[in-house]
Structure 1
């Protein structure tokens, strides 16, 4: 049974489209992981600064 004209090019276009969508999704996931890691380290640094500030203030004056 023969396929109608243009079916192979349509299948090729769909597979290329699927590949492009997969690459875009992978990039979005990678970027979101990088942003999450950056924000996590930033929050940790800020919390450490707050802890240091409070430990300095808790010292009795001599």
Structure 2
């Protein structure tokens, strides 16, 4: 979704658990908390707090 990255709550190489908060995106005047769907490891983070996102723009990848 298009929006603004408010915060990134993880780091590259970090193991995350299902339900863990990954990032917060502000879109349409609402804050949307993005959470991990399953356990994994953050491979890369392509965005940082303050970045504007286009539709379908990559925020982070997992191994």
Shorter-normalised TM range: under 0.3
- Between 1 and 2, higher relative CO (CA 8 Å, sep ≥ 6) is seen in 2
Q: Which structure carries more strand by proportion?
A: 2
Q: Which structure carries more helix by proportion?
A: 1
- Bigger Cα Rg: 1
